[in-house]
Amino acid sequence: MKKVKIIFTLDLNTKSRPNYYNLNKLMGELGFKKYSPREVDLPHNTYYGEFNENINIKELREDIWDILNNLKLNPKRLFGGILSEWSLVSKKKK
């Protein structure tokens, strides 16, 4: 079955330090990772995953909102989409 590549980023509106361990764990259970297909670390609050092409995007989006609200992270915005090709994925050379 063909896979689709989904990436999203989010803004949190919380005064306390977010529990990134729980957030990353729950995002992982949905199928998201904190790094690109080339193993490049993504910016904070950015997640990537590959899913079957018949995935229900609306349901996935609601699952993400539920996780954020259940962790009391006060999500402000969620932005993402389906990728057809990676570009400009690199990290700064030291």
Per-residue pLDDT tens digits for 18-75:
777 888 898 999 999 998 888 888 888 899 999 999 999 889 989 999 988 888 887 8
Q: Which two three-digit tokens encode residue 71?
A: 């962790």
Question: Token pair of 1, please?
Answer: 């079955």
The Cβ of residue 47 has, within 10 Å, a number of other Cβ atoms equal to 22
pLDDT at site 1:
82
Q: 0.85 exceeded by the pTM?
A: no
**Domain annotation for the chain: domains and CATH numbers:** 3-83 (3.30.70.100)
**Backbone φ, ψ for residue 25 (5° rounding):** -65, -45
pLDDT band at 92 (very low <50, low <70, confident <90, very high): low
Q: What tokens were used for 81?
A: 């989409």
